[in-house]
Amino acid sequence: MSSPTKLIDMDLPPVTTFVSLSNSPENNFSSVNSISEFRLPTYGANNPRVWFAQIEALFMARGMRSQATKYAYVVGLLPIEIAAEVWDLIDHVRDSEPYDKIKAAVIQRTSVSDEKRLQQLFGYMKQLAGP
């Protein structure tokens, strides 16, 4: 006989960690809410690397390891102009490592280059120094 745990989505935290020891309906309702309330930060256009670091920490805290699940969350959160930049990866989802591929593409295609950041820093320093 096969194990019933094989049917459980491994991205979901074990229900026993959220189930209250009390039989109170209020406690059970709040347990269900804690499972369903998973919010990720708004996409950070100024620094996509920081945004990905934030959401990866949240994925890790929730025990989400599936490339497909993480991919789905990211695609759902991307602003339309960023999604347009990586449309080739959204339109043709890769079976192998879709999250890693879309993450790399978003960072590569939308991040400000190191040279541009340095130019921005020098411009900011000039403003601070004054005339």
**Average pLDDT by stretches of 10, the chain with 131 residues:** 40 42 49 62 91 97 95 96 96 91 95 81 89 77
pTM of full prediction above 0.75: no
* Residue 116: predicted pLDDT: 80
Question: Do residues 103 and 126 make contact, with C-beta atoms less than 8 angstroms apart?
Answer: no
Query: What does the alpha-carbon distance between residue 36 and residue 108 come to, in Å, rounded to a whole number?
Result: 32
Of 57, 87, 82, 84, nearest in space to 70 by CA = 57
* Residue 24: predicted pLDDT: 52
* Residue 94: predicted pLDDT: 76
